[in-house]
Amino acid sequence: MFRFLPALLFVLFSGAAMAEVADVYEFDSVDEEMRFQNLAEELRCPKCQNQNIADSAAPISKDMRAEVYRMMRGGASNEEIVSALEARFGEFIRYKPKVEKRTILLWATPAIAVIGGLLVVAGVVVRSRRGSSQAPALTAEEKARVEKILAENDQDKSA
């Protein structure tokens, strides 16, 4: 029993060695803490494709959070912080790119898609209303065939 104890303890506590210590930043006010959190959620991790630096566990995100905190403590505004990180990592780190001539299509695409979808739905509704008001008349051959089928059906029911 006791000869397995070291192996058991090793297995139980080996996970603790891999645990990462959470970043602890101290703020003077709740507003300052919310500002930090908003900035961290606004900035994208350069390593993680679709995560902000607040949620990412990548070392680069940890460094970026520390840099945001350091710049906030130094009195930098939000725009100064974002601009400094953008100069270092590129515009990719912005989750909300600036509205400029080259990004106008990016901002307009959702509105264009919604308007296009509404136009398609309106067209389908108008066509369905227009088409359903007039049923095509049956030819003499079709009427005879329908009457024959109905007569056969009546005979099957009475038998």
Question: For 73-91, what is each residue's pLDDT tens digit?
Answer: 999 999 999 999 999 988 8
| d(C-alpha 86, C-alpha 95), whole Å | 11
> Does residue 18 have a pLDDT over 70?
no
Do 114 and 53 lie in a common domain? no
Do 32 and 54 lie in a common domain? yes
Q: Show the domain range for 121.
A: 99-127
| d(C-alpha 149, C-alpha 151), whole Å | 5
Do 91 and 24 lie in a common domain? yes
- Tell me, yes or no, whether 45 lies in a domain: yes
Q: How many domains does the chain have?
A: 2
- pTM for this structure? 0.54
Percent of the chain with pLDDT over 70: 89
- Tell me, yes or no, whether 6 lies in a domain: no
Q: Which residues does 35 contact at the CB level (< 8 Å), separation at least 6? A: 72, 78
Do 64 and 82 lie in a common domain? yes
What pLDDT does 120 receive?
95
Integer angstrom CA distances of residue 85 from 15, 52, 61: 34, 13, 11
- Tell me, yes or no, whether 30 lies in a domain: yes
Which 8-state DSSP code applies to residue 52? B
What pLDDT does 46 receive?
87
Do 54 and 88 lie in a common domain? yes
- Tell me, yes or no, whether 147 lies in a domain: no
